[in-house]
Structures are given as structure tokens and as C-alpha cells.
Amino acid sequence: MTKARGGKADGPGRRRARPAGTGRRAGAKGTRSAARARVVREAGYDLLLRNGRVVDGTGNPVFRADVAVVGDRIAAVGVLPGARATQLIDAAGLVVCPGFVDTHTHSDLMLLGEPRHDAKIRQGVTTDVIGLDGISYAPASRKNLHMLRDYLSGLNGRPDIAYDWTTIPEYLARFDGKVAANVAYLLPHNCVRIPVMGMEARKPTAAERGRMAALAREGMESGAIGFSTGLVYPPCCYADTEELIALCRPVARLGGFYVPHIRTYEAGIAAAIEETFRIGREAGIPLHISHFRVRRSTRNRIFEQLAAGERQGLEISFDAYPYKAGSTYFANTIPAWAHAGGPDALIRRLGEPATRRRIVRDIQAKELDWSRVIVSGVKTIGNRSVVGRSMAAIAAEQGRDPAEILCDLVVQEELQVSAVLHRGEDEDLEAAMAHPMMMFGSDALIWGAQPHPRAYGTFPRALGRFVRDGKVLRLEEAIRKMTSFPARRHNLRERGQVAAGWYADLVVLDPARVIDRATFDDPHQFPDGIEAVVVNGQLVVEQGKHLEARPGKILRPQRA
């Protein structure tokens, strides 16, 4: 156990602050230690992080400095002798760095339902990017919003909130100043396609493409920072390349970027990347590929393809998470043709014997390793016994085919059922993390009894297991990939760097202790080593405790 610094230990490695004046007499052993993280009431800065080892987010070497905050901005970075502040944190021996930007999240609803955002904020995440994979909730008519709430419940949960917005500004207003972390919104493909074409599985007409392009322009003008699609998720997967080019053009004109979940990361990945490059070239738009992954057999060829695209003048980046396993909602395993018409049509097809047999055959044709598909969340009490178990084990117990069980679960849970899928190798993760185009994103589903542990552990895991222990990246470079690099890609001005005048999104961490504690068997575990988290100048986490502050803002694009 790491010895707690200052005050009495409050659990392993945590510190409980003492009020000013309660420490030992001056000069006594432990006085300096007991003063750490204390709150003082004196004039000066609003917050002062004293004696820290600053990793400023640029990739530059660490340096020792004080960081002073006034309001929501960093007021000074440097040696500040005699400086006073309303709140003082002694960061001696600790790293002070920018708050982490989670570039790929599924917090679109759960952040509203659980505004403390414990799973993320306790990792040091100060900004969540939402609207990923082309599937979110604004703009939407009231009818479509309720359909999307039900249809996507296996991915984003279904918290008990009022579903009464229709526009992007109305949706984003739900977050502004009411949640713990900042939020930036990507315009999702589904909210452009559904108003024009519903859930129809076909190509658009020229007139429909024009109407969707107009909606894309309006979405960007309403506060989106870019455009996302998920080319394995209905209705996004029904789009052809020409549709995507047409939608990306107005996004590019308004300074946005294109964020695809490409059509496949398995066989055919090269063609999927080439489609993305074509969209980038013809729309004149920067590219950011979601939750990128490669296999050893194709890794060098795919990395060369990315380099070739960059040499051709394309602006390319990607995000990845430091786990071999992924997660998704079970309904996504059902073939795309069966989703046409929306969730009611899907449930109806699953109830038609001949159509269901066809669906089961298509699922079986995927040749999934059911021993590595783990049920992670369900809606009903009746099916909670399967959570945490593999589909192979469930099928063996029931003496039935896993594809049949999957179909039953989707119907019984009204689509609100999710899974963790184990795959990949550690060296593939390491190669992706070391790549210069890579930045970090959790891709976390933050609902369910046994979610993927990346919801609680992504950033501390990278810093502990792959930086400190594995030496895959230098600390300074890893933090750059968590802060200034994603902030620049997402046009988050004056964030992602510890610099005077920039917004005060900050993390104080212990590089010797930082580590994830969440596991696949016990995922609801907070990490060690994240000592304090500051969002827009306000302390949200101190000594491992959430202070109930909700200073998160909507980060809107700043365009010339």
C-alpha cells in the first residue's frame, strides 16, 4: 500500500484534508505533509496548485512550477513565491497536467441522467465528445426522439430524464452548467438521415441528398464541431459514398471534420479506409477515424496506407482505447437489412418464424466466437442472471444456439442489452498507441451492471500500464495524446494545455501510483492516483472525493 500523504488516510492511497491550523506545531515532523491539499482563506488567486511537476500537454519535458487560477482561466504558470489563494493544493511530487479529452464517448444520455459523471471525472476526463458513430439524439422530432431513445438504449442506456428537446441548442442546453464535465457535440448521421428518409435501407435521391446536406449545414451552425457516421449501424450503414461526400461538404465549409466508424476493421479494412480518403479528398475535409484497430497480419500495410494518405495532403488522425476487448449493443449483431423501418419493424421481424430463421442464419454466418461474447447489461430483472456470462456458457446451459438466444434477449429486453467482445493482442494496442496519428478515446458504455471497464479506467490504465510500466510512450507524449492533440483536432480553443490565459481544466496525478482498478469481473471501480480534477477553474475531485460541483460547459466551435 502506498503511504497516504498528509492528514489521515481515507482508504488506500487517499488523503483527507485537515482544516487550516489543525496540523502539528511548526517544525514538527509531518507539518509539511499535513499541509498538503489544505484549504486556506486568504486573498489572492482563486486556486493555486503549488510545487507541481507540470506536464503542459504539448509534449515538452516536465518542469516544476506553480499553476494559479482566477475564475475559469489559468492566470499564471511559473515560480510564484508568496502567492496566496482561496484554495491551495500542494502538488509536490505530483504531476499537474491539462484535463483529459475523451474523444469517443457514449455519454449522450447517461451524462444527463448521472450528471456527477463519476466514472469519467474520477479518471481525470474534463471533456467528453458525444454524438459518435453517427448515432445520437439531436436534431430530432419528438416522435423520432422517442424512437431513438428506445432503439439505442442498448448502447446509451435509457435514464429517467425528460425527452422533450427537438433542436441541437435545446439538447445542448441540458448539459451547460449542469454536469461535471465539458461536452462537445458531433452532428450524428442518423439525425440528418432519419428526418429525410426515416429508417429506409436504400440510397437517397438527389433531392434527398440536398435536403440532408441542408440539415448538415444547419447542424453545424447550431453548435456541432464536426460530423460523425457509423457505417455498421443502421441507418448510417445504408449510405453510399456519394451521400457521405454530399454531407461532408457543408461541414468542411464551416470548419468541421469527418469522424467515421468505417465499414469494417477486419477483412476489407483497406477498402474502408480508401473510401474514407475519397470522402476527405472530394469534400475537402479533415479525417478522424473512430476506435481504430489493426491486426498484426495487416498492421504494416494499413499504417503505410495512412502515411500515403497524409503524403497526398489529407489531414488524418484516429482514436483508440488501451484494451483488447470492445463492446456494443446486441441489436447491432442482427443484420442491417432486418433494422429497416426502425425498432418496431425489427421486433416484428424477430417474431415472424420465417424471417427470424433468416436472421439467425445471417448471425451464424458471422462465425462469432461466442465464448468471447459476454453479456454486460440488460434492462429486466428476469435476465440479470446472464449478465457477466459468455453466450457460449449460456447456450450450453440452455441447450440452444447462441444466435437464437441473442434474438430472444433483444426482444425480451426491448433492445436494451449490451455485450463485451474479447479480441486482439497487446502488441496491436501498443502499435496503435505509439502511432503519431493516435489520440485516446474510451468508447465507453456507462450503463449496465457489468460494463466494459474502460468506462472507469481508460486514461489511468494508459498512464499506468502502458506508460509507466510498459514504456510504450513517454509520459509527456501520452498526455499530449490525451490533451492538446485532441483539443486541436476538435477545435477546442484554449484548452488542452497548461498555459496562462487558457481555460483551467486540470488534473493532479501521482505518476508512481496512477492505475486502473476496474476489471471485466468488477468494472465499477475507480482508479488510483488521480488526486484532483479541475473543470473550468472549479475543483470537482479532491483527494479522491467528488465535491458535487457541476461546472461543465458546452464547447462550441469558434469559427472565423
Identify the pLDDT of residue 195. Answer: 97
- The string over 177-208, giving b where at least 16 C-beta atoms fall within 10 Å of a residue's C-beta and e elsewhere, is eebbbbbbbbbbbbbbbbebbebbeeebeeeb
Tell me the pLDDT tens digit for each residue of 161-202: 999 999 999 999 999 999 999 999 999 999 999 999 999 999
Q: How many residues does the chain have?
A: 560
Residue 25: burial class (beta carbons within 10 Å; 0-12, 13-18, 19+): exposed
- Give the model's pLDDT for residue 70: 97
| DSSP structural state of residue 134 | G
Give the end-to-end CA distance of the chain in Å, rounded to a whole number.
Answer: 52
Range with lowest mean pLDDT among 8-22, 270-284, 480-494: 8-22
How far is residue 249's CA from residue 278's CA, in Å, rounded to a whole number? 12
Hey, what domains does the chain have and what are their CATH numbers? 100-324+424-491+501-546 (3.20.20.140), 332-421 (no CATH)
* Lowest-pLDDT choice from 15-29, 320-334, 475-489: 15-29
Alpha-carbon span 248 to 476, nearest angstrom: 34
**Under 8 Å between Cβ of 226 and 257:** yes
Buried-state track 344-363, b at ≥16 Cβ within 10 A, e below 16: eebeebbeeeeebeebbebb
User: Which grid cell is 316?
Assistant: 488524418
Q: Give the integer Cα–Cα distance in Å for 97 and 103.
A: 17
Position 560 confidence tier, pLDDT thresholds 50, 70, 90:
low
C-beta of residue 438 within 8 angstroms of C-beta of residue 481: yes
Cell numbers 511537476: residue: 53
- Report DSSP state, residue 420: E
Q: 261 in helix, strand or coil?
A: strand
Q: Is the pLDDT of residue 26 over 60?
A: no
Contact 502, 307 (CB under 8 A): no
Q: Which residue has the higher pLDDT, 137 or 21?
A: 137
Distance of CA 119 to the CA centre of its chain: 11
Tens digit of each residue's pLDDT (9 = 90 or more) over 98-142:
999 999 999 999 999 999 999 999 999 999 999 999 999 999 999
Q: From the CB of residue 300, how many other CB atoms can be counted at a distance below 10 Å?
A: 11
Q: Is 307 helix (H, G, I), strand (E, B) or coil?
A: helix
Q: What angle do CA 408, 521, 379 make, to 5 degrees?
A: 35
Separation between Cα atoms, residue 333 and residue 328, nearest integer Å? 9
Spell out the alpha helix ranges (H) of 189-314: 190-197, 206-221, 241-253, 269-283, 299-311
What is the torsion angle, in degrees rounded to the nearest 10, for the CA atoms of residue 300, residue 489, residue 94 and residue 50?
160
Q: Using N-to-C axis directions, what is the helix angle for 391-398 and 402-412, rounded to 10°?
A: 100
Omega before residue 235 within 30° of 0, cis = yes
DSSP string, 20-35: TT-SPPTTSTTHHHHT
Q: Say which residue the cell 480518403 belongs to.
A: 277
Q: What is the mean pLDDT of the chain?
A: 91
* Mean predicted confidence (pLDDT) in 351-380: 96
Its pTM stands at 0.90
Bridge partners of residue 62, in order along the sequence: none
Give the distance, in angstroms, between the CA of residue 229 and the centroid of all CA atoms in the same chain: 15
What CA–CA distance (Å, rounded) separates 60 from 55?
7
pLDDT the model gives residue 15: 35
Question: In whole angstroms, how far apart are CA 514 and each of 13, 60, 329, 526, 531?
Answer: 10, 21, 30, 11, 9
pLDDT confidence bin for 295, thresholds 50/70/90: confident
Confidence of residue 206 (pLDDT cuts 50, 70, 90): very high
Q: In three state form, how does the secondary structure of 329-389 look?
A: EHHHHCCHHHHCCCHHHHHHHHCCHHHHHHHHHHHHCCCCCHHHEEEEEECCHHHHHHCCC
Q: Quick check: 36 pLDDT over 70? A: no
Whether 18 shows a pLDDT value over 60: the answer reads no
pLDDT at 95 over 70: yes
Around 549, how many Cα atoms within 13 Å sit in the side-chain half-sphere?
21
